[in-house]
Copies of this chain bind each other. A is one copy, B any other.
Amino acid sequence: MFDLKDLCEKSAAAKYEAGLLTTEKKNEVLICAAKMLKQESAYLLAENEKDLANAKENSISEGMQDRLRLTKERIEAMSEGLVQVASLPDPIGELLEEFERPNGLKIKKIRVPMGVIGIIFESRPNVTADAFALTFKSGNCVILKGGKEAINSNKAIVKVLKKALEQNGVNSDVLALIESTDRETTAQFMKMKEYVDVLIPRGGAGLIRAVVENSNIPVIETGTGNCHVYIDKDADPKMAVDILFNAKTQRISVCNCAESLLVHKDIAKDILPAIKESLDKKNVELRGDDISIEILGDCVVPATEEDYGKEYLDYILSVKTVGSVDEAIAHINKYNTHHSECIVTENAETAEKFLNGVDAACVYVNASTRFTDGFEFGFGAEIGISTQKLHARGPMGLRELTSYKYKVYGNGQIRQ
């Protein structure tokens, strides 16, 4: 019988070993695991086939089946991901600060691993390898809980990764997969505070809400995005049209795409027709306020209150006209998910007001919101985008999977 407590205990017991591994050893494991994933392609594809057969039997949607599917190319990409993480600098042991107190105490603030990281994710099996690479390189143990649709694929990937750990003489308990996929196990896992230092849910808003509501482990919320583009009266019109088109349509299913357009009233009449023309190329549905309907006509559906708060992840965009940058800021702070927000303007003062006033992880002037991404920020990798303010905010790479400790060096100091 599957024993969750036993699994968590083993991870916790392995965390000191994981935290003390040398950079060389960690990279060796990652490179070795990358090779082995490719060598074991046939095995991985066969196990993945079982998940796909189940998915068909259970009439799971085509989109979901595509997310589930492993191919030779996807296995190679997964393998390449491990090699990339091996090439990144090791964050552990970094000296963050150093100071001396008047009593002679020398204090060093040093970057250390979190310990045991729990990750609850949905269908894509490549997350298994990604999450292992990032948590392992940052000196952590990881406990993965994937979706039940991908259980055979996840088990196979973990089996290969564990073999790579063992071949390199590393305790394979640094990586664990929760093989039981029922809801009770997930609920139990969220209460394993004694063993798990932080829990990261990766998936839809429903999953994230469930974790936040039920976990007693500290949580990092990731990835819901109701992102806005605000076109100021001082915007360059062509740039505005291009940025909005990119932010809305370059990839519709991701958290950093735009879901809502705000336009300054002074420029609305001039720019909305050009925006409509551009978005028509992708058949984007517009849901707007009275003024935008007045300008563009009946092709604009009247927007409801709900529209302004919605993450469509679809070819739909809400539109609102505003009288000032202050009104734009207030609207965004009322409806956004603190992810990514953009102003298009040539006025530096207005831009700075927007960047300071809007409450979001990433605030842009004259660039697409689609850049909120660990790779685009140059972090080399990403475990997710944090939309909360505690701990990490925005793209989370290796550093964001770490904590710190204070090492204090004395020569007999006692407190008076």
Are A414 and B218 CB-contacts (below 8 A) given A105-B367, A406-B361? Answer: no
Surface stretch bound by B, among A120-128, A150-158, A309-317, A370-378:
A370-378
Nearest B residue to A191 via CB reads B213
Smallest CB-CB separation from A220: which chain B residue? B390
In the complex, which of the residues B107, B243, B378, B403 contacts A390, with contact meaning CB atoms closer than 8 Å? Answer: B403
Residue A368 is within 8 A (CB to CB) of chain B in the complex? yes
Q: Is B405 a contact partner of A363 (Cβ separation < 8 A)?
A: yes
What residues on B are CB-neighbors of A409 within 8 Å?
A: 365-367
A394 at the interface (CB under 8 A from B): yes
Residues of B within 8 A of A101 (CB): 376-378
| A16 touching B357, Cβ below 8 Å | yes
State the copy count for this chain: 2
A212 within 8 A of B: yes
A389 contact from B198, B246, B361, B370, Cβ within 8 A: B198
Chain A residues bordering chain B, tally (CB within 8 A)? 65
CB <8 Å contact, A393 and B403: yes
CA distance A365 to B198 in the complex (A): 28
CB distance from A354 to the nearest CB of B (A): 10
Complex CA–CA separation, A391 to B365 (angstroms) = 28
23 contacts between A and B (CB under 8 A): A16-B329, A16-B357, A20-B356, A20-B357, A115-B359, A198-B389, A218-B219, A220-B390, A239-B411, A242-B414, A243-B412, A246-B414, A246-B415, A250-B415, A360-B405, A362-B405, A364-B408, A366-B410, A366-B413, A367-B409, A368-B415, A370-B415, A393-B403
A residues whose Cβ falls under 8 Å from a Cβ of B: 15-16, 20, 99, 101, 105, 107, 114-115, 193, 197-198, 212-213, 216, 218-220, 236, 239, 242-243, 245-247, 250, 329, 333, 355-357, 359-368, 370-371, 376-378, 388-391, 393-394, 403-415
User: 16 new A-B pairs (CB below 8 Å) besides A16-B359, A243-B412, A393-B406?
Assistant: A15-B359, A16-B357, A236-B412, A247-B414, A360-B405, A361-B406, A362-B405, A362-B408, A363-B406, A364-B410, A366-B410, A366-B413, A367-B410, A367-B412, A371-B415, A391-B391
**3 nearest A-B pairs in the assembled complex, by CB-CB distance:** A367-B410, A246-B414, A389-B403
